[in-house]
């Protein structure tokens, strides 16, 4: 008989794509995911899975390159850099109109009510609104107004919502923490994909060649105009995208110096490494807070299996790295479940 799993999916921006790989590995091993609680991207992936549309969602996000992500950015000048209507509009198309109580398994999305300064659990009502509220990352996505309540990312209070599944009576609780700090042996895999510009150029050139008497030079000019338009769009939303260039590298660690300051854990604090923009500063601060809160949640309600995804593998806004993050999630889940199953045998 299959073991019934209560799955907890934590918050962590683009790293939330790793949840998809984790779910695939859990199902591959024959476990039955009987309920889900999620926060932020965990709520989005968990909600889409509970609605039975995870394959469709994966196909969409794996098709996105850096330029596609730019196109999904709808600039806002109020309480967040992005309105999120384009992104969540596409998710609504994939999932459809469905209420939480009509999903095939119990589901909880966790958001934060800024007005009343409390945690909110969505366990009924519109799935789309629950996912949108739970994923309203402060400073990135605009908040969701619900009556007199202003709702933002649940990670502000509970980045790893284990409590909602404690009473589920499942055989085991598996929690996925996207803010781990001690998984140094895991690295984002390299997945070869054609450069976005070359791919788009070839597609456009082929299309024009079959319909219009355009020459290659004319097609190239059109592609150049498209790229310039996207660069102008990116400039509108600087400074947050200025540090999100594809294939960007993190600054190399500085060599240890005698007398260099250390953190409370004993690791050296590196000089000259910091956020590249104001938004980056806000979100790095947010992630530091989430890391600490997640540790408290794990200590208070230890899951049977804890899958730790290192937060250093990508920045919170690198949403064009879906294939790599999905593969990494599957790899870490496989290693973690191998250890768990060997201990049980």
Residues marked as catalytic: 40, 153
Pairing of strands 4-9, 32-39: parallel
Dihedral, CA atoms, 131, 136, 142, 144, nearest 10 degrees?
50
150: enclosing H helix or E strand: strand 149-153
Q: Pick the closest to residue 259 from 271, 274, 245, 273 (CA basis).
A: 271
Pairing of strands 144-146, 149-153: antiparallel
At 136 the three-state DSSP class reads coil
Which residues touch 224 (CB under 8 Å, ≥6 apart)? Answer: none
The answer to whether the beta carbons of residues 100 and 130 sit under 8 Å apart is: yes
* Beta-ladder partners of 153: 111
Distance CA 124, CA 102 (A): 9
The gap from C-alpha 331 to its chain's centroid, in whole angstroms, comes to 17
- Residue 162 half-sphere exposure toward CB, CA atoms < 13 A: 21
Joined tokens for residue 222? 């059109």
Distance CA 166, CA 170 (A): 8
Share of the chain residues as helix, strand and coil, in percent rounded to the nearest 5: 45, 15, 40
325: enclosing H helix or E strand: helix 322-344
Q: Pick the closest to residue 156 from 328, 7, 239, 39 (CA basis).
A: 39
Distance CA 19, CA 10 (A): 9
The answer to whether the beta carbons of residues 60 and 87 sit under 8 Å apart is: no
Q: Pick the closest to residue 332 from 3, 5, 23, 95 (CA basis).
A: 23
């Amino acid at each position: 008989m299959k073991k019934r799993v209560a799955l907890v999916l934590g918050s962590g921006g683009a790293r939330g794509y790793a949840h998809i790989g984790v779910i695939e590995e859990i199902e591959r091993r024959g476990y039955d995911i009987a309920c889900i609680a999620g926060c932020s991207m965990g709520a989005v992936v968990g909600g889409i899975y509970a609605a039975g549309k995870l394959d469709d969602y994966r196909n969409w996000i794996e098709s996105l390159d850096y330029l596609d992500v730019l196109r999904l950015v709808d600039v806002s000048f109020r309480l967040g850099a992005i309105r999120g209507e384009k992104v969540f509009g596409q998710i609504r198309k994939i999932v459809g109109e469905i209420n939480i109580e009509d999903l095939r398994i119990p589901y909880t999305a966790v958001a934060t009510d800024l007005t009343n300064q409390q945690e909110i659990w969505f366990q009924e009502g519109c799935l789309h609104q629950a996912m949108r509220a739970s994923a309203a990352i402060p400073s990135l996505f605009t908040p969701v107004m619900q009556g007199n309540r202003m709702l933002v990312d649940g990670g502000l209070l509970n980045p790893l919502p284990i409590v909602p599944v404690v009473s589920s009576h499942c055989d085991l609780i598996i929690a996925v923490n996207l803010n781990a700090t001690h998984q140094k042996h895991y690295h984002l895999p390299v997945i070869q994909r054609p450069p976005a510009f070359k791919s788009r150029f070839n597609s456009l050139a082929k299309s024009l060649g079959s319909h219009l008497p355009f020459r290659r030079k004319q097609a190239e000019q059109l592609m150049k105009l498209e790229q310039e338009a996207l660069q102008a769009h990116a400039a509108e939303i600087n400074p947050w995208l200025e540090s999100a260039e594809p294939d960007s590298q993190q600054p190399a660690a500085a060599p240890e110096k005698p007398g260099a300051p250390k953190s409370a854990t004993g690791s050296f604090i590196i000089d000259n490494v910091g956020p590249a923009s104001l938004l980056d500063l806000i979100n790095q601060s947010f992630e530091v807070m989430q890391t600490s809160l997640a540790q408290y949640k794990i200590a208070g309600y230890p899951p049977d299996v804890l899958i730790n995804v290192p937060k250093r593998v990508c920045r919170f806004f690198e949403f064009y790295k879906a294939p790599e993050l999905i593969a990494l999630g599957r790899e870490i889940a496989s290693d973690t479940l191998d250890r768990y199953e060997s201990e049980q045998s």
